[in-house]
Homo-oligomer: A and B are copies of this chain.
């Protein structure tokens, strides 16, 4: 293994968790029925892999120039979430896929944003950030929420219009969301980039790795994440029961926190360094990327990989939560200024949701 990767591992204690990757594989071979243990091992293995993946993506982005780099960050930034969801998709666990999509959107919009504003505000009396970036991401999120609201609202009504309708509509919406996401990148990375100056992901990293190492890590770690995800997806439901957690709570909260652990670290440390642009960009940017890129790509891929096409119809409760999360982020980032209490509000909304999901009897979701 080349030098910079080893140095990185020595420097960052989070990466010491990499030792759990082989342990998880060994565990699956030796005790395939120990779901709770396998769940814990796979969580401990995914977290450092996600951190490596995030660092490798940023390194490739930094080496390839601004436009291609921005594009890479914008498409591979949530590779961990995508790989986990793809594994669940292949296993036909559509409920888990959808819960993890909705959960990742809500967690980024409320928890990562709120905790960043709170942690930053506890150190700095008042903080400022670039409103243009926050507005663009909030606008994209708003559009995605509308797109998810429509099929769910119609499917919920008494007069259910049947599966064929939901399927066709979901396909159309997926294409529309990806087109909008692409236009949004064209806007922020190309035609009007001067308005979005300092808010980019790529600045987060330290000295980037050489391109070869970065690309190699990207490929290798993606394969490892896919393999560990199989252990994770195979054990999560039964482990949840063992912990007394509802499947909704696991899909929404646990999967989202596991998949996004690496990015959260960057967002929080950015906020402490008074670089709120970075934190807000990670929080809202990740949420927008999952809503307008990961989710529609999963719908399209379900025609190839899944046992049946996946629709964009969500559990109504999840749609309400995404709507509320988007509205909260829109209202909070409106002024471009923040203090600690501004972070408390989205965290409390997140707590309300987490509490509800935790208490909800399993058959309801």
Contacts and interface: CB of A to CB of B under 8 A. Distances in A.
Contacts of A192: 125-126, 339, 341
A117 B202 CA distance: 31
Interface in A177-207: 180, 183-184, 187, 191-192
A356 B170 CA distance: 10
A349 B361 CA distance: 35
A359 B155 CA distance: 13
A316 B355 CA distance: 21
B187 A341 contact: yes
Interface stretch (A85-93, A145-153, A258-266, A276-284): A145-153
A161 B361 contact: yes
Interface string A117-157: 00000000110000000011001101100110111011001
B348 A143 contact: yes
A162 B340 contact: no
B356 A143 contact: no
Interface residues on A, range: 35 or more
Nearest to A184: B341
B147 A340 contact: no
Question: How many copies of the chain does the oligomer comprise?
Answer: 3
B341 A161 contact: no
A331 B159 contact: no
Contacts of A146: 324, 349, 352
Given A184-B341, A187-B341, A157 B331 contact: no
Contact of A352 (B147, B335, B341, B342): B147
Interface of A: 125-126, 135-136, 139-140, 142-143, 146-147, 149-151, 153-154, 157, 159, 161-162, 165, 168-169, 172-173, 176, 180, 183-184, 187, 191-192, 316-317, 320, 324, 328, 330-332, 334-335, 339-342, 344-345, 348-349, 351-353, 355-356, 359-361, 363-364
